[in-house]
């Protein structure tokens, strides 16, 4: 199956100039397009992306981002680039890429907690929230480990503890229906965790609590955040 048969977010980038070409490709994408599985082709290479090029892309761009935009401190003159960095961070988290674990404690503290962040951090927040990651991780601080130097693996058990369901009153008809729907959800999460849902990852499910409030059927139990 080639990229014309799959719904993907297709980009073409240059290994040698990874930041500029990637930012140019991603900056024109809509939120809907960014939410699709990233399909990466490198200049002069035409290999089908079954996940390998995508993982390599995240590894290369995170290394370049670290070296240019973080190793010598935040660069105010390049503040607009940090919005694109936030988008890349969101994508790599949601699509099982390498985690962005190179920011120091001072930057992370400002990112999550500062009421008056620098212009670079403001743009980074905007980029992260393009796919809902900043809002999610501020509401669920237990997930901020994804940015720590020794991150804990996101497992099925950890995810289900984080997304704790709160059911209606015991014995009610509504609770019975909620449990039936929730059982389907749990089965789906198990399939994702075991790799039986293609490119969907546990990271993608982290976006679910926001959507629950708007899109899921009324029979789904409340998720405590």
Cβ proximity of 91 and 131 under 8 Å: yes
Cβ proximity of 78 and 25 under 8 Å: no
Q: What is the pLDDT of residue 48?
A: 61
Q: What is the pLDDT of residue 140?
A: 85
Helix ranges (H only) for the chain are 18-27, 31-34, 52-65, 81-94, 105-113, 119-129, 133-139, 156-162, 173-193, 202-205, 208-212
Q: What is the pLDDT of residue 16?
A: 93
The list of the chain residues with pLDDT below 70 reads 1-6, 46-51, 150-153, 206-225
Q: What is the pLDDT of residue 4?
A: 44
Phi-psi region of 195 (alpha: psi -120 to 50; beta: other; left: phi over 0): left
Cα–Cα distances in Å, from 210 out to 90, 126, 159? 15, 17, 15
What is the C-alpha to C-alpha distance for residues 104 and 169, in angstroms, rounded to an integer? 45
For 76, phi then psi, to 5°, come to -60, -35
Nearest C-alpha neighbor of 13 from the set 54, 48, 50, 51: 54
What is the C-alpha to C-alpha distance for residues 129 and 141, in angstroms, rounded to an integer? 15
Q: What is the pLDDT of residue 217?
A: 42
Neighbouring-strand partners of residue 54: none
Q: What is the pLDDT of residue 5?
A: 53
Question: Which tokens is 126 given?
Answer: 């905007």
Q: What is the pLDDT of residue 192?
A: 87
Set out the domains of the chain in order of their start, with CATH numbers: 8-147 (3.90.1750.10), 156-224 (no CATH)
Q: Which helix (H) or strand (E) holds 48?
A: none
Q: What is the pLDDT of residue 3?
A: 42
Q: How many residues does the chain have?
A: 225
Nearest C-alpha neighbor of 87 from the set 39, 50, 38: 38
């Amino acid at each position: 199956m080639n990229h014309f048969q799959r719904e993907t977010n297709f980009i073409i980038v240059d290994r040698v100039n990874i930041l500029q070409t990637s930012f140019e490709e991603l900056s024109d994408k809509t939120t809907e397009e960014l939410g699709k599985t990233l399909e990466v082709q490198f200049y002069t290479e035409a290999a089908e992306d079954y996940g390998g090029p995508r993982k390599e892309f995240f590894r290369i761009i995170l290394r370049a981002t670290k070296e240019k935009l973080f190793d010598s401190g935040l660069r105010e003159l390049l503040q607009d680039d940090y919005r694109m960095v936030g988008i890349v961070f969101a994508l790599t988290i949601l699509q099982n890429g390498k985690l962005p674990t190179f920011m120091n404690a001072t930057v992370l503290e400002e990112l999550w907690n500062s009421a008056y962040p620098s212009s670079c951090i403001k743009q980074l927040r905007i980029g992260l929230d393009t796919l809902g990651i900043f809002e999610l991780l501020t509401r669920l601080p237990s997930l901020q480990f994804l940015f720590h130097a020794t991150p804990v693996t996101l497992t099925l058990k950890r995810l289900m503890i984080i997304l704790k369901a709160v059911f209606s009153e015991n014995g009610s008809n509504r609770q019975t229906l909620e449990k039936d729907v929730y059982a389907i959800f749990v089965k789906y999460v198990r399939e994702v965790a075991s790799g039986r849902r293609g490119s969907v990852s546990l990271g993608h499910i982290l976006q679910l609590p926001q959507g629950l409030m708007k899109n899921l059927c009324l029979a789904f139990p409340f998720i405590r955040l």
